[in-house]
Amino acid sequence: MERLKKVFRSTFGTSTQKYDTSHRMCPNCRALVERNASVCPFCGEKLGSARARPSSAVPGRILGIIPIPSTATSAVVAATIALYAISWYMTVSSGSSQLSPESVMGGISGEVLLRLGAKSPHILMGQWWRLVTAIFLHAGLLHIGFNLWCLFDLGPQVESLFSSAKFVVFYLVAGVAGFLLSFWWSPFGMSVGASGSILGMIGVLIGASFHHGHLGKEYRGQLWRWVIYIFIFGLFFAVDNAAHIGGLATGALLGYLVPEGEEETRASQNLWNLLALLSIVIIAGSFALMALQLGQPLR
């Protein structure tokens, strides 16, 4: 893992060369203007507040091991933990008189997962929102723990390489694509988890690595090894490999096609902000639809 991280930093990390941070580029005419200017003196374009320059220091880590998540990653982690807490509470409440050893150890009952929006045959009845809600649900402590560990590491890397807005879109699109393939492969099966989105983040980094020459090729080789290990692990345990494949392929395509970094024009910046906002609305709307049917009998 340390070798992989060193390769990543040498490939996509910041350079030790010093840059002039007193000026920035106007998104309209591309001229260099003072960093704190509110209007471009060359074309008259109004300028937004200057973004903070990324630090060349290695991001902080919790206990020296877990990377401190960035803004969008933190929001996804918080939502995932909140949904797990709700599902565990519902599991315990539904069998309060006789707690099973599984629920005491953090296991979530299948009925609770189904009610909260797991991928299931109910999608055929028009409950498309399950393709979204299933991303944020997990079946137990080990399940959510492994996925959040990966997300803590991969999320900040994708956000740093692209942007927070692009990360939000990538995370949702890869997760939904993963469950779409899973539903096509096994329409009557039930599955949950963020692993489709997380494999999507690995795919994004693989796709982006094709634009970084020899060092990108070396880093890509390391990523592919981890993908192979994950799929081998999935052959021996109850893992939704179809969702993994769908998320990975979608992420790789996005990472290859979408330009890295913050957008250079105001129009493209507004477009990605709009797509990120739309993604958030879709996620919130999906959980609202789930809540509306929460008290109804399952068919």
Phi-psi region of 246 (alpha: psi -120 to 50; beta: other; left: phi over 0): alpha
Among 195, 197, 209, 279, the active-site one is 195
Among 103, 244, 279, 286, the active-site one is 244
Between CA 188 and CA 190 the distance in angstroms is 7
Between CA 69 and CA 58 the distance in angstroms is 13
Q: Are strands 23-25 and 66-67 parallel, antiparallel or unpaired?
A: unpaired
Concerning whether 244 is annotated as a catalytic residue, the answer is: yes
67 pairs with which residues across the strands? 61
DSSP 216-270: HHHHHHHHHHHHHHHHHHHHHTT--HHHHHHHHHHHHHHHHHSPPSS-SSHHHHH
Q: Which amino acid is at 83?
A: L
Concerning whether 195 is annotated as a catalytic residue, the answer is: yes
Question: Which amino acids are annotated catalytic?
Answer: 195, 244
